[in-house]
Structure 1
Amino acid sequence: MTTVARTDVCVIIAAKNAEATIARAVASALAEQETAEVIVVDDGSTDQTVAAARSADDHSGRLTIARFESNRGPSAARNHAIAISRAPVLAILDADDFFLPGRLGRLLAVEEWDFIADNIAFMGEAAVTGAAPRVDDFPPRPRLLGLIDFVEGNISQPGVKRGEIGFLKPLMRRRFLDKHGIRYQEVLRLGEDYDLYLRALAKGARYKVIQSCGYAAIVRGNSLSGSHRTEDLKRLYEADRVILAANDLDGEAAAAVRRHERHVRGRYQHRHFLDLKKERGAMAAIGYLMRRPGAAPAVTAGIFADKTERFRPRQDAAPAGGGAAVRYLLPIGAEHAR
């Protein structure tokens, strides 16, 4: 096997008020021998995120810290990091997560890809101590992830938390992004990863997935990724419409994107109805449905789901109370791509 050059990967960490976890994330990235750069972009933090990130510096000259005076969102932070980085391969690491040892080497050992992702281990803080031994060692078994399976894997199901394939954190080849002019959409604060990966797949990206697990995602109730505004849903389904208009997708692929657009639009309609009811009263919410009767099925289904949620079995990313169990994003042995 060819020895991987140390100058392959730039690890990008967008961080806001992450002083409690950023040092762990930075240290895990610097520990990978394939890491050429770690770029932390402090996105308008009001705590000691920058100082905590610096505390993990190994003085190899690979850590760069940039700072936004005000919050601009993860897309803007990542785009800034891409702009100031030089490495040919880009890796995204969330500020409260971390790499498991050997992650980059396992991914880079696979050939012929534009994007490549591995499995994710979801765990609570209680499982973090000694995380690597707790995570199972699965064989890689690389496979291609097609556009249709990617989109279908991002349509969430009732009672299932954080299971979408959009949570995968692939390595990305800069040359593919540059060739097609792909960067994060800064207007998006929800689904920005999904949108970028889908635009790449629409341009023919080879997206491979291995079932080996090298990324640890920490589950907590106050995670920024677990909350969003109603307007964020609107922008996400509008992004689907842009992709449909800008790409000549075949019939099945276009149908899959339209299903996702309807799914997110339905969630928006439900949330918008509830917002109107809370802010302006029941008559305003009913008036919205009278003006837009097409929203009624999604609103009705959303209300029903809310009322019956406590009766449905729940598959969560980690046990209540942050227990020591680990759940994997990709079911081992299941086929996810055609």
Structure 2
Amino acid sequence: MPLTTPVTTPVANPVATLGVCVIIAARNAARTIPAAIASALREPEVAEVIVVDDASTDDTRDVALAADDGSGRLAVIRFDVNRGPSAARNAAIRASRSPFISILDADDFFLEGRFRRLFASTDWDFAADNIMLIRDDAAPDLAKVAAPPFAAEPEFLDFERFIDGNISRRRVRRGELGFLKPVISRAFLERHGLSYDENLRLGEDYELYARAVACGARFKVIKSCGYGAIVRADSLSGRHRTQDLKRLADADLALLEIDSLPERSKAALRRHERHVRDKYRLRNFLDVKAERGLASAAAYAFASQSNLIPIVRGVATDKLDALFRRTGIVARQQIPPMRFLMAATNAANE
């Protein structure tokens, strides 16, 4: 296992046993991490902020340390070898003491009052809120972004709803429930022996949430917005490798081995596994074509019907989409400056 070298500002806050530990896995995030840390330290419920510098080649570690507010709540751990977000988060969870854990991506931020709203009730093991998605070139002064007055409209996710809510659809803006960033009960994780799957660099949140709900987690969602996500073309989630898709599909197969899952839950998992596996087969076909030529790619496609159908469908759809855009039949999809992961009702309208 790669060595980790801790570089710390000691976590010495005496209320650490009562609050939230915010975990930030970071790689080459020097430009954005000060705002992320500041938004976490602003929240009175936050007892610890643990940054894990995942072998950055820039000065992420030093910039993170410079963001310390002097409260003794910030700690920085550095990996000497890149191990991925799952390993970084697991290391931070082991190093933390707080009863609740909250994940914050290094280029995102919390809206003021987020935890006050989530802790308005404690009838949950996981509690997530709405996400404000802001296009990078339209990002305002993050310190001044306020939560919109959305009604909470609380609900609990069941297993099938969560799994089906992670199947993306063409020409529909992404809104998968795996993007949610819940506050997590440490006691629940420990009781069920749950942690992030370190084989995954794509869908690691989805896999943990799915496994938790399968273990009986009460996963509460409110429509009030407390998390801001900056949408960047160069984000890590947008640069996943083809093999990451295969590992995610394999993770669904592992979830299918949970004996206690009813058949309807397994049917949802099979739908998600097929969806991800088909994306993998298309991406792998394109990789083989680029690396070894069309003949090798055709051999891969015709090796089985399971390969051929999603490849033909995917290639045909991509070609038609490109044709429609060139001819103006379908306009190129524009990313709005701001949108929300979940549709919500303005509280003022109630």
The offset of 1:333, in angstroms, is 4.6
Query: Which of 40, 50, 65 pairs up with 2:76?
Result: 65
CA distance in 1 between counterparts of 2:117 and 2:157 reads 18
Is 2:259 the counterpart of 1:260? no
Is 2:192 the counterpart of 1:180? yes
- C-alpha offsets along residues 74-132 of structure 1, whole Å, 9 cap, x if unaligned? 00000000001000000000000000000011111122100000000000233331565
Once superposed, which parts of structure 1, at least 4 consecutive aligned residues long, lie more than 4 Å away? 130-135, 312-316
2:34 maps to which residue? 23
1:322 maps to which residue? none
2:150 maps to which residue? 138
- What amino acid sits opposite 2:38 in the alignment? A
- What amino acid sits opposite 2:91 in the alignment? H
Answer 1 or 2: higher relative contact order, Cα 8 Å, separation at least 6: 1
TM-score scaled by structure 2? Answer: 0.89
| Secondary structure in structure 2 of the residue aligned to 1:19 | coil
| Secondary structure in structure 2 of the residue aligned to 1:162 | coil
Q: Sort the Cα spacing of 1:314 and 1:328 in 2 relative to 1 into closer, same or farther, 3 A.
A: farther
Is 2:126 the counterpart of 1:119? no
2:303 maps to which residue? 291
CA distance in 2 between counterparts of 1:161 and 1:314 reads 13
Query: Which of 231, 239, 242 pairs up with 2:243?
Result: 231
- What amino acid sits opposite 1:302 in the alignment? G
- C-alpha offsets along residues 249-284 of structure 1, whole Å, 9 cap, x if unaligned? 112111001000000000011111111111111111
| Secondary structure in structure 2 of the residue aligned to 1:214 | strand
How large is the Cα RMSD of the aligned pairs? Answer: 1.7
TM-score scaled by structure 1? Answer: 0.92
- What amino acid sits opposite 1:281 in the alignment? G
- C-alpha offsets along residues 145-186 of structure 1, whole Å, 9 cap, x if unaligned? 111111111000102343111100000000111111110000
Q: Sort the Cα spacing of 1:181 and 1:44 in 2 relative to 1 into closer, same or farther, 3 A.
A: same
Is 2:102 the counterpart of 1:88? no
For structure 1, the 5+ residue unaligned runs are 320-324
* Number of matched pairs: 324
Residues 110 and 227 in structure 2, CA contact (< 8 A), matched pair in contact too: yes
Query: Which of 90, 95, 111 pairs up with 1:79?
Result: 90
Is 2:180 the counterpart of 1:168? yes
| Percentage of identical aligned residues | 54
Residues 150 and 345 in structure 2, CA contact (< 8 A), matched pair in contact too: no
| Secondary structure in structure 2 of the residue aligned to 1:38 | strand
- C-alpha offsets along residues 186-244 of structure 1, whole Å, 9 cap, x if unaligned? 01000000000000011111000000000000011101111211100000000000000
Is 2:188 the counterpart of 1:150? no
Q: Sort the Cα spacing of 1:275 and 1:130 in 2 relative to 1 into closer, same or farther, 3 A.
A: closer
2:4 maps to which residue? none
CA distance in 2 between counterparts of 1:315 and 1:210 reads 29
